[in-house]
Structure 1
């Protein structure tokens, strides 16, 4: 019995290592700023060689973003986890993360440029440049909307519990990529005024957009390390996590067909 258990553990370990080996660290740069993203190549690519760019949450490249890249690669997608901050700009805590993320939210052109550089790396890895989607979590979710606002050459963007706002002084342009926002119904970090402004923006931009609310879910509902205390405004919700992942895959079926 014990030997069977050990064998099962060994098989599980080897399976994990095989999947992880599909992610490769990629060095690239923005001028003098060194960046390091992670590229995932599918064992068997889908027919269109579609690619998905993953924008991490405010702590930068993290295990959650890498896990998403691996899971999507297993489904046949080329993937790339973007490095928005830089190798030597990794925040040590939430206070530092808030400061760095705030800089990019304010200086949105810089954020858009870093996203564009990551898109180029995704395409270099083998993804079809005409079949690209961008997904992001929290701060990365905000980045997906900046991708859409900049009308980068992608078919669609998916924001998981991301910020929705932008400076009201910015002009509203027609948005061509399709937009899917997956939102915690109890996320008090995104006030109703921001939600309304976002929806008004989407209408004014004549965007093809969807917004899905998940009951009992707050900010970071897809992050398993976020704990379970909703009162803090950040907590994992297994049901919302699974439902939002399925919503994303259904969205992919639409935009890539």
Structure 2
């Protein structure tokens, strides 16, 4: 097991306002080890609930470990959703026109790399559920990323990865009991990666459902009547895999 959750640094945090190419106001959440510079950095793409406490906690953990990290705002004005119907409405609004996802993720990436603490040559992107698709689509667009890690993610591509364009190494964490992203979807993703000659690994976690890294998943499932579930073991193992990837690729 890694020591990512016991390695503690004092961190500084701030909100950063930025805009997409259409002028939409976006508000990201940045954290980094206090007083440090030339840092490898991680772009953190939220679940369809938006830039909420869960994703901000992931940013703090990354900063306490030693990375700069930035939770991106995909909906504008840091809107978050409390129920699944609202989350779905917000998410679907970023699929039409289809370039909104990449446009807003690119704006966030440019904002992250412009921060004085950050080494722009050492950037990774991670994403949870909908955010996994955001991170992957950013890499598919040719962004200069060293790694992408996803957790219970939508793996589908509007524009499939192309050899030479997709630069990141990929690690996917997927729950075997995920009823929203099927094992057939995972196989299709593997084929996409193989065709584009992308270095990738897919870890399947037995008994884990969609949302397995989020301690609020069971309550979200109860409130919304959707098939989510938290799995502490799958969360711990997939986070170990994430930090091992980041240590190897970014440091």
Give TM-score scaled by structure 2 length.
0.86
Counterpart for residue 72 of structure 2 = 82
Name the structure 2 match of 1:97.
87
Q: How many residues align?
A: 237
Post-superposition offset of 1:142: 1.1
SS at match of 2:121: coil
SS of structure 2 residue aligned to 1:201: helix
SS across alignment from 2:213: coil
Q: CA deviation at 1:148?
A: 1.7
Larger-Rg structure: 1
Is residue 36 from structure 1 mapped to residue 18 from structure 2 by the alignment? Answer: no
Distance 1:233 1:185 in 2: 13
Asked if the contact 2:137–2:157 (Cα under 8 Å) also holds between the matched residues in 1, the reply is: no
Structure 2 spans left out of the alignment, 5+ residues: 1-8
- For 1:173, the equivalent position in structure 2 comes to 162
| Counterpart position of 2:245 | 251
Aligned-residue Cα RMSD (Å) equals: 2.4
Q: Give how far 1:193 is off.
A: 2.7
More helix by share: 1
Shift of 1:232: 4.6
Q: 1:91 to 1:233 in 2, by over 3 A?
A: closer
Q: Partner of 2:110 in structure 1?
A: 120
Which string of whole-angstrom CA distances, capped at 9 and with x for unpartnered residues, describes residues 48-95 of structure 1? Answer: 510011001101101111001001101111111100110175445311
Spell out, residue by residue over 1:132-158, the C-alpha distance to the aligned partner (whole angstroms, 9 max, x if none).
000111110111111221120110111
Aligned pairs for 1:187-198 (under 5 A) are 187-198=178-189
**1:165 CA drift (Å):** 1.4
Question: How much has 1:108 moved relative to structure 2?
Answer: 3.7
Counterpart-to-counterpart distance in 2, 1:240 and 1:36: 30
Tell me by how many angstroms 1:227 deviates.
Answer: 1.4
TM-score (structure 1 length as normaliser): 0.84
Partner of 2:14: 24
Q: Secondary structure at the match of 1:189?
A: coil
1:130 aligned counterpart, secondary structure: strand
More strand per residue: 1 or 2?
A: 2
Residue-by-residue CA offset, 1:76-121 (whole Å, 9 max, x unaligned)? 1111110011017544531121122123245442111111111122
Q: Tell me which moved more, 131-140 or 141-150.
A: 141-150
Give runs of aligned pairs for residues 153-164 of structure 1, distance below 5 A.
Answer: 153-164=144-155
2:42 aligns with 52
CA contact (8 A) 2:51 2:79 kept: no
Q: Is the 8 A contact 2:102 2:138 kept in 1?
A: yes
Is the contact between residue 113 and residue 120 of structure 2 (CA under 8 Å) also seen in structure 1?
yes
Contact 2:160 2:192 in 1 (8 A): no
Instruction: Determine if contact 1:108/1:146 at 8 Å carries over to the other structure.
Output: no
8 Å contact kept, 1:22–1:70 = no
- Structure 1 moving runs of 4+ over 2 Å: 43-46, 88-93, 102-108, 228-233
**Structure-2 residue corresponding to 1:213:** 204
